[in-house]
Amino acid sequence: MDFQSFLRYPLEDLPFIALALIIAFTVHEFAHAYSAYKFGDDTAYNAGRVTLNPRVHLDVIGTILILIAGFGWAKPVPVNPSKFSRPRLMSIIVTAVGPLSNLLIGTIGVFIFVPLHIYGVLDSASIGVSMAVERFFSYFISFNFLLFVFNLIPLPPLDGYRIISDLMPLRIRYKMDQNVQWGMFIFLLIVFIPPLRRVTLDPILGLATNMASNTLRLAYSIFS
């Protein structure tokens, strides 16, 4: 049996993928936890989630699935909006900072990698080291832009759904919460049925590729 056939990515790239995912997921969940704590909710803090220690944020199944299916998740951060002075506004901010943190570190990755490439910093390194750095940054940048776009899709259990829910009037939010299970069912259908994925999820995730490419072009134009 060929183990590679079960994976979405090349087997030899798994160390770079794992490191990129660990950083991306950890920063994302830390951003949720830290912002909630700063707004007065100590729920995540008491659960030990206000930390950059990956062990408390990673979900084993969610991490494995991204290697197999191309998508995954980390452990959700517990948040109690009733502890916020302005529950709706602060809930939206706490939810939004997760995807935004991925956009930020993805952009930082671009502006670290491009000068390394342009100024030949890696030229004196061995071919193996040079290829390893390029592969890591390739996955690191693409995953973070991907997580930014993916998490803003307005379907449960993603951050985009929670943002939309918090923006709605209470009666509409109540109805939305009553039908969360159907939203999750639709989400799973879109992910796992290729024809549906090709006309729904894939074009959306294509935005992440375009964003990463445009950011890279901007960085090259700045440093050239």
| Residue pLDDT, tens place only, 116-152 | 999 988 888 888 899 999 999 999 999 999 999 999 9
C-beta of residue 206 within 8 angstroms of C-beta of residue 199: no
**Helix residue ranges per DSSP H, the chain:** 14-38, 43-46, 60-68, 87-118, 127-151, 159-167, 170-178, 180-192, 194-199, 201-223
Is 29 noted as a catalytic residue in this protein? yes
Tell me, what's the pLDDT at 71?
65
pTM for this model (two decimals):
0.91
- The stretches in the chain having pLDDT less than 50 are 1-6
Tell me, what's the pLDDT at 106?
98
Residues 38-62: tens digit of each pLDDT: 999 999 999 999 999 999 998 888 7
Selecting among 21, 23, 24, 29, the annotated active-site residue is 29
Q: Give every CB contact of residue 182 below 8 A, 6+ residues apart in sequence.
A: none
State the Cα–Cα distance between residues 155 and 94, nearest whole angstrom: 17
